[in-house]
Amino acid sequence: DDNRTPSTGGNYRRDDNRTPSTGGNYRSNENRPAGEGSNFRSSGDNRFANRPRTTGFIRPAEPIADPNASKLNKDVKFKKPTAEVATKVKSKSKEDKQVKKYKKLIREQISTTDIDKAVRETMAGIDLQHSTGGSRSKIKQKKKIEREERDTIRQRVEDEMANVLELTEFVTTGELAKAMNILPNQIIVKCMQLGLIVTINQRLDKDTISLIVEDFGFSVNFYSEQDSLEIEEEVDTEESLEFRPPIVTIMGHVDHGKTSLLDYIRSSNVVAGEAGGITQHIGAYQVELPNNKMITFLDTPGHAAFTAMRARGAQVTDIVILVVAADDSVMPQTIEAISHAKAAGVPIIVAINKIDKPDANPDRIKQQLSDHGILIEEWGGKYQNIEISAKFGKNVDVLLEKVLIEAELLNLRANPNKNARGTVIEAVMKKGFGPVATVIIQGGTLKVGNPFVAGTASGRVKAMLDEREKRVDLTEPATPVLVVGFDTLPEAGDSFTVLNSDMEARQVAKDRDILKRELSLRQIRKISLDDISQKIHEGNVKELKLILKGDVSGSVEALGESLLKLSNDEVRVLIIHKGVGTILETDVILASASEAVIVGFNVPIDVNARKLADVEKVDIRNYNIIYDCINEVHMALEGLLSPEYHEETTAMLEVRRTFKISRMGTIAGCYVQNGKISKNDKIKVLRDGLIIHTGTLSSLKREKDDSKEVDAGYECGVMVNNFNALEVGDHIESFKIIEVKRKLS
Ligand code: GDP
């Protein structure tokens, strides 16, 4: 029965269109039916432009019945994305993935099972109703009715399906209107009712889209572009896993000795047979202990780096060494370090430092730590501790042994025999090398020649240098290495992934770049419902938009974190772009377009950028000291805070006589008891201590002349705007409204 096939055909078409969120799409052009797949994400051009969809970001619910579908189905074999595609595309989290699978299942079920079932049931019904017939005309009639009924059912199911829109989160008002087949104005009006002023080209956020779509009788399935940009790791088998060194971060309050400890470990460790120690700072280094065991240290002490990485979803650290100075106490950053490590679920080893100092009091530290939930082993708790002197190297070896014990407990393992994956720790422009980045390899082995992608950067490993400036050909898990061969600078915290080909790497990087730009665009124009309702409630939400440029990505991340923290209920710091290197014209353009301030940290300003900034009135602030920068932004925030208004009484007048003049109103002869009244002051009329009118003066006269102000002890003639009921004995209090700038607490 030819009429039946469309339902299966429809299903196949849906599958095909849905692949962007399910996988294999970077390289599966060959898996696609020629008719549709050939123009789908072809390499080279903007992928959004290449979408087979009419509306760019929108995938309208496809018709299920397509008369050509059966033909297509015969002509073209549709292969499912195969397992040979090594790296698959994954969704953000397991939960997301399940939800998506579930949704997919439901959609598939609706599209195939339900339609088929509905058709079959009706057919059965029709058969029953019409099975009594026998003659040729009756059979013809029966077939006709069958056909009609089938069409109605199909129509009904189709109608239901058509009400489900498949959209990305990035649709504009215009695109959304197109998807629902209505006029953009209808959406604009609807948005106004929601308290949103939107334009036709404005991107709407998810909440708004859901609300609007519902109002027009549709429902929506969001499919995420972002999902397609994370590359799923191959699952390692138990046998493939081998032990790897632990990766350690040293944290603690400023001046408690983090740098000293890192320096001591670095300088005391000279790997057997090597001349010279660790010569270059690449953001991480590895040391070898006498028992040939290795430990990797992240060489960026402090919490900013740790938290910034975590904020970007990169957890690199296995163990935290918490340094507390024995001659000081548990300080704010000590507590911060504890909460950061705990939040990340990373074990802590306590190193009580400066034990050589005469005023060292380790017991006090232990006590204070226990007050903050860190009960050391010695006191029956679970945290290992050791008293050290970073300056003189006392007990540092014991500390490192403790790290190894902790590592053993953690059973740290990785599979070295696969494509490498890791995380970017630091990225800089290096003379003679171009953009380079320190990458900590977390799985697999990185080899010279490997194509890779890291955030929006891609490339091929041209060379690798270790912390001793020695060229290496292979880098195994938990080892830091300086990678040469990036096309642009990646960012600290970016995941680093080796792919099978340069083309694939470039494509992923490009897709991510497009998405990133989309997101930043959205950020500029973003109006979420939360914001709006807050604005309505408070009437004073303001934001300070910043563009951050710094010398190395570590400092940009750290500064960004600190600046974001300055946000409070009333003023929000929004970093719309951050990057490494010179402040360029493009930064100024972005700043001008989004009314942002450019904050530079240790970076030069391009001459043209400076000129453009003058023209566009863009504020560029350059700093060399982080504190200055944070302080000034803090001040800027104070400037943005809406001021409080106070009334300040300027004078008190007593009404001694009144003159009623027709067509002019009442003139009151007053005596200024104290202060000085100005013509422009606001006034209150008081009678028996009650305010009976608040307003302004329409005239103020001394003798017969208009006067700007009248001092205490003088008489004057006063008329009040729109108020003629002044009586002898009334008092007039004049006042000014003064603005009081508020300070952030
Ligand atoms: P950071 O801010 O935590 O990195 O602290 P630093 O490593 O820069 O140390 C701050 C100061 O404490 C420096 O002057 C160090 O010389 C000193 N210091 C660090 N460790 C010790 C120690 O074990 N004993 C003594 N006496 N001084 C130390």
Ligand 1 atom closest to the CA of 394, numbered from 1: 23
Is any atom of ligand 1 closer than 6 Å to the C-beta of 353?
yes
Query: Phi and psi for 665 in degrees, rounded to 5?
Result: 105, -160
* CB-based contact 677:648 (threshold 8 Å): no
pLDDT top residue among 146 and 31: 146
Token output for 16 = 């095909």
- When pLDDT is cut at 50, 70 and 90, the band that residue 389 belongs to is very high
Tell whether the model's pLDDT for residue 47 goes beyond 70: no
Burial grade of 110 (CB within 10 A; 0-12, 13-18, 19 or more): middle
Q: Which residues contact 717 (CB under 8 A, 6 or more apart)?
A: 667, 668, 669, 670, 699, 700, 701, 702
**C-alpha to C-alpha distance for 633 and 655, rounded to whole angstroms:** 51
Ligand 1 atom closest to the CA of 392, numbered from 1: 23
The CA-to-CA distance between both ends of the chain, in Å, stands at: 77
Can you say whether residue 595 is alpha, beta or left, with left for phi > 0 and alpha for psi between -120 and 50 degrees?
A: left
- When pLDDT is cut at 50, 70 and 90, the band that residue 104 belongs to is low
Pocket test for ligand 1, best of 255, 256, 260, 333 (most atoms within 8 A of CB): 260
CA 391–ligand 1 middle distance (angstroms): 7
- When pLDDT is cut at 50, 70 and 90, the band that residue 441 belongs to is very high
Selection from 580, 293, 319, 528 nearest residue 424 by Cα: 580
* Paired sense of beta strands 413-414 and 247-252, if any: unpaired
Is any atom of ligand 1 closer than 6 Å to the C-beta of 257?
yes
Q: Which strand (E) or helix (H) includes residue 21?
A: helix 5-22
Pocket test for ligand 1, best of 251, 300, 391 (most atoms within 8 A of CB): 391
CA 600–ligand 1 middle distance (angstroms): 30
CA 261–ligand 1 middle distance (angstroms): 8
Ligand 1 atom closest to the CA of 301, numbered from 1: 4
Of 65-69, 612-616, 739-743, least confident by mean pLDDT is: 65-69
* CB-based contact 204:212 (threshold 8 Å): yes
Token output for 125 = 């019904």
Of 161-165, 363-367, 478-482, least confident by mean pLDDT is: 161-165
**C-alpha to C-alpha distance for 113 and 333, rounded to whole angstroms:** 60
CA 258–ligand 1 middle distance (angstroms): 7
Selection from 569, 637, 638, 571 nearest residue 599 by Cα: 637
Sign of the torsion angle spanned by Cα atoms 181, 185, 191, 196: positive
Is any atom of ligand 1 closer than 6 Å to the C-beta of 256?
yes
Residue 599 has a CB neighbour count (10 Å cut-off) of: 28
Nearest CA to ligand 1 atom 10: 255
Sign of the torsion angle spanned by Cα atoms 41, 45, 49, 52: negative
| SS3 state at 165 | strand
**C-alpha to C-alpha distance for 543 and 522, rounded to whole angstroms:** 15
Alpha helices in 490-552 (DSSP H): 502-525, 529-538
* CB-based contact 238:413 (threshold 8 Å): no
Is any atom of ligand 1 closer than 6 Å to the C-beta of 357?
yes
* CB-based contact 434:264 (threshold 8 Å): no
Q: Looking at residue 384, what is its pLDDT?
A: 95
Nearest CA to ligand 1 atom 18: 257
Is any atom of ligand 1 closer than 6 Å to the C-beta of 260?
yes
Is any atom of ligand 1 closer than 6 Å to the C-beta of 356?
yes
Tell whether the model's pLDDT for residue 417 goes beyond 50: yes
Beta-bridge mates of residue 678 = 709
* CB-based contact 547:575 (threshold 8 Å): yes
Q: Which residue has the tokens 């190193």?
A: 351
Burial grade of 198 (CB within 10 A; 0-12, 13-18, 19 or more): buried
Is any atom of ligand 1 closer than 6 Å to the C-beta of 254?
yes
| Mean pLDDT of the chain, nearest integer | 75
Q: Looking at residue 358, what is its pLDDT?
A: 95
- pLDDT tens track for 504-542: 999 888 888 877 776 555 433 333 333 333 433 444 446
Beta-bridge mates of residue 297 = 248, 285
Ligand 1 atom closest to the CA of 263, numbered from 1: 7
**C-alpha to C-alpha distance for 694 and 737, rounded to whole angstroms:** 13
Alpha helices in 294-345 (DSSP H): 303-311, 332-344
Nearest CA to ligand 1 atom 22: 354
pLDDT top residue among 669 and 149: 669
- Which long-range CB contacts under 8 A does 566-572 form with residues at least 24 apart? 566/630, 566/633, 566/634, 566/637, 566/744, 568/637, 568/744, 570/538, 570/540, 570/541, 570/542, 570/641, 570/642, 571/542, 571/543, 571/544, 571/637, 571/640, 571/641, 571/744, 572/541, 572/542, 572/543, 572/544
Mean pLDDT of the 556-569 span? 83
Residue at 341: amino acid letter: A
Is any atom of ligand 1 closer than 6 Å to the C-beta of 389?
yes
- When pLDDT is cut at 50, 70 and 90, the band that residue 643 belongs to is low
- pLDDT tens track for 328-366: 999 877 887 887 777 678 899 999 999 999 999 999 999
Can you say whether residue 304 is alpha, beta or left, with left for phi > 0 and alpha for psi between -120 and 50 degrees?
A: alpha
Selection from 273, 251, 253 nearest residue 262 by Cα: 251
- Could you tell me what percent of the chain has a pLDDT over 90? 29
- pLDDT tens track for 544-561: 778 889 888 778 888 888
Q: What is the DSSP letter of 89?
A: B
Helices 184-193, 206-215: axis angle to 10 degrees equals 110
Q: Looking at residue 655, what is its pLDDT?
A: 95
pLDDT top residue among 740 and 323: 323
CA 498–ligand 1 middle distance (angstroms): 40
Is any atom of ligand 1 closer than 6 Å to the C-beta of 263?
no
- Could you tell me what percent of the chain has a pLDDT over 70? 69
CA 393–ligand 1 middle distance (angstroms): 12
Is any atom of ligand 1 closer than 6 Å to the C-beta of 259?
yes
* CB-based contact 226:518 (threshold 8 Å): no
Pocket test for ligand 1, best of 251, 255, 388 (most atoms within 8 A of CB): 255
